[in-house]
Amino acid sequence: MAYYRTHQCGKLSKTEIGQEVTLCGWVQRRRDLGGVIFIDFRDRSGLVQIVMNPEYNQEAHRIGDRVRNEYVLKVKGNIVERSAETVNPKISTGEIEVHISDVEILNEAKNPPFQIEDQVEVDENIRLKYRYLDLRRPAMQQSIILRHKVSKAFRDFLDENDFLEIETPMLTKSTPEGARDYLVPSRVHPGEFFALPQSPQLFKQLLMVSGYERYFQIVRCFRDEDLRADRQPEFTQVDIETSFLTMEELLPLMEKMVAQVCEQSIGLKVEAPFQRLTYREAIDRYGSDKPDLRFGMELTDVSDIAAACGFKVFSGAVERGGQVKGINVKGCGHFSRKDVDDLMGFAARYGAKGLAWIAYQDGEIRGPIARFFTKEEMAQFKERFAVSEGDLLLFVADTAKVVADTLGALRTKFGKELGLIDSSVFKFAWVVDFPLVEYDEDQKRYVALHHPFTMPVEEDLELFDTDPGQIRAQAYDLVLNGFEVGGGSMRIYKRDIQEKMFKALGFSQEEATDKFGFLLDAFEYGTPPHGGIALGLDRFVMLLAGRSNLREVIAFPKTASAADPMTDAPGEVDEKQLDELSISLQLPEEVTK
């Protein structure tokens, strides 16, 4: 066979009228109208209507009669203009059709287990088991094409700006800090293991030591954690590192990159510079370090009023060092006690033990707590929350963390449910001035908020010896519409500071040397000041595509239990394979056969 096709279905137009074309594709839909067969014929480029009429060709019509949805055909025919009343304005090729003179069935198709359309509700496990069919749906195809465009746009921008894409190893060493590693037993070195990288962090820093100055990589990373809707065991990162750039030079460059990618991939104009929020401000105003800035409903602090009030739950919380804050849910003044009680289950997930409320509706003020406050206090609430008729105030009195988490989550929930969010808006912002470390009550030690290689703000360096919890990091997160889409920092590039950091995290000298000795060594051979960022490609594409699940933008994702129903991975392996790797199974009792 010299060729399969001369044209693509979706690219045909009136220009080709009168031409004979050969097409290949799938039967999207087949109708028989009075002995004439009309097929919506599909390839990647789109649809065209092909017509098998015994008047054009008897044999072709005979074969056409046999075909069913999703059959793969090669057809030959003439491009003909449709009559005015049969023009289909919904498809790009709607002004023409192809009168078929020759059909070859390249492959048959069984009835698919679900209809290949966007609107169809199908159990996700079935979709994943037959992913090769699910990927035929227009919405999936658009996601995958968008993902390609986004990656290409990142690469083009970075290349234009002198960044080199440099590949780093996938078979690396397991390190203690961070999430759980995926391990890979070594056959050549019995008893030893590689780890799949959680990120190329150390390698990219070493590339800065090597003088590459501008590195990037679009790279697969791995975390063996329990999954959520916006997590996958393997995910893709746009990983970037630079030397000799200050944070004030790097962030605008990254803004330019993000803007160019948005424009080239979905035609979105993004305004720079991006808003900047300190970590403190984000938590205070939005109860989140990745606030959705597309709407208001900010958290309002009333701890001062609460401290002196007669309502013990409020004053007690402040006494114990906590906070009392609230949000004004506009237009929900009609909420009943039951409505608010229903919210309690939601609030409890974030640790709140109670949810206080005051409703302003029909000139009335309702809510069981209202009676505890003086007229002046009620006036202060009214002013501080800019209350108007029909509003609902929700309060949480607890530790600062519970207050922020609960009100932040309620704010997001109401933002969505009340339609306060314009989904066509993309609000990028930087969150900066993160704490370097935070105290982990479980481990009874400080842990790095970003990672152990983050550079402290210069003037806070002396706090290592006195109060590490107060050190600010030269770190920044890129947030978009309530998601963290990127995070980075300036890095430590001097051995003494890195050692102080390891010490603050409770590493023994030996541990530090054992795990990161090569990095500490590298710092002594002329390491430049450097810093970078990593963007989550999956999440970024998900947001640009307007989807809410990572599996909608990954061709072959894993389920929430980190499995692939299609290939049935993971699976059992031969005893011989384990022997070669010097490992054996040690199954928990209930699994042992």
Q: Which of residues 211-250 bind a copy of itself (CB under 8 A)?
A: 211-214, 220, 222, 224, 233-234, 236, 243-246, 248-249
Compare residues 449 and 581 and give the one whose CB is closer to a copy of itself.
Answer: 581
Q: Is 241 annotated as a binding residue?
A: no
Minimum CB distance to a copy of itself, residue 281 (Å): 23
Compare residues 212 and 346 and give the one whose CB is closer to a copy of itself.
Answer: 212
**Secondary structure (DSSP) of 451-469:** -TTBPBPGGGGGGGTT-GG
> Which residue among 56, 154, 182, 507 contacts a copy of itself (CB under 8 A)?
182
On whether the CB atoms of residues 55 and 96 are closer than 8 A, the answer is: no
Tell me the window of 169-177, 277-285, 424-432, 466-474 that interacts with a copy of itself (CB under 8 A).
Answer: 169-177
Structure tokens at 183: 């391990």
Structure tokens at 583: 């490992």
Should residue 342 be labelled a site residue for a copy of itself when binding is judged by CB under 8 A? no
CA gap 392, 172 in Å, rounded: 54
Minimum CB distance to a copy of itself, residue 95 (Å): 24
Buried-state track 34-69, b at ≥16 Cβ within 10 A, e below 16:
eeebbbbbbbeebbbbbbbbeebbeebbebbeebeb
Minimum CB distance to a copy of itself, residue 205 (Å): 9
Minimum CB distance to a copy of itself, residue 124 (Å): 17
Q: Is 147 annotated as a binding residue?
A: no
Should residue 133 be labelled a site residue for a copy of itself when binding is judged by CB under 8 A? yes
> Which residue among 52, 202, 356, 485 contacts a copy of itself (CB under 8 A)?
202
DSSP 287: S
CA gap 140, 409 in Å, rounded: 30
Compare residues 167 and 510 and give the one whose CB is closer to a copy of itself.
Answer: 167
Q: Is 536 annotated as a binding residue?
A: yes
Nearest to 545 by CA among 487, 483, 478, 486: 483
Should residue 178 be labelled a site residue for a copy of itself when binding is judged by CB under 8 A? no
Should residue 173 be labelled a site residue for a copy of itself when binding is judged by CB under 8 A? yes
In terms of DSSP bridges, do strands 275-278 and 428-432 run parallel, antiparallel, or are they unpaired?
Answer: parallel
Should residue 463 be labelled a site residue for a copy of itself when binding is judged by CB under 8 A? no
CA gap 174, 170 in Å, rounded: 11
Should residue 120 be labelled a site residue for a copy of itself when binding is judged by CB under 8 A? no
Structure tokens at 201: 């962090």
Q: Is 20 annotated as a binding residue?
A: no
Q: Is 438 annotated as a binding residue?
A: no
DSSP 111: P
On whether the CB atoms of residues 438 and 213 are closer than 8 A, the answer is: no
Taken in order 461, 464, 466, 468, is the CA torsion positive or negative?
Answer: positive
Should residue 497 be labelled a site residue for a copy of itself when binding is judged by CB under 8 A? no
Structure tokens at 116: 């290949």
Q: Is 450 annotated as a binding residue?
A: yes
Structure tokens at 86: 């049969």
Segment 251-310, which members bind a copy of itself (CB under 8 A)? none
Should residue 568 be labelled a site residue for a copy of itself when binding is judged by CB under 8 A? yes
Should residue 33 be labelled a site residue for a copy of itself when binding is judged by CB under 8 A? no
Should residue 84 be labelled a site residue for a copy of itself when binding is judged by CB under 8 A? no
CA gap 301, 384 in Å, rounded: 9
Q: Is 337 annotated as a binding residue?
A: no
Nearest to 355 by CA among 366, 343, 365: 343
C-beta neighbour count of 363 within 10 angstroms = 6
CA gap 273, 293 in Å, rounded: 15
Q: Is 422 annotated as a binding residue?
A: no
Compare residues 466 and 584 and give the one whose CB is closer to a copy of itself.
Answer: 584
Q: Is 577 annotated as a binding residue?
A: no
Minimum CB distance to a copy of itself, residue 274 (Å): 19
3-state secondary structure of 335: coil
Number of residues forming the site for a copy of itself (CB under 8 A): 124
Segment 526-565, which members bind a copy of itself (CB under 8 A)? 526-529, 554-556, 558, 561-564
CA gap 572, 456 in Å, rounded: 47
Should residue 203 be labelled a site residue for a copy of itself when binding is judged by CB under 8 A? yes
Structure tokens at 164: 């080199």
Compare residues 70 and 239 and give the one whose CB is closer to a copy of itself.
Answer: 70
Q: Which residues are annotated as a binding site?
A: 177, 223-225, 232, 450, 484, 491, 536-539
Q: Which residues are annotated as a binding site for L-aspartate?
A: 177, 223, 450, 491
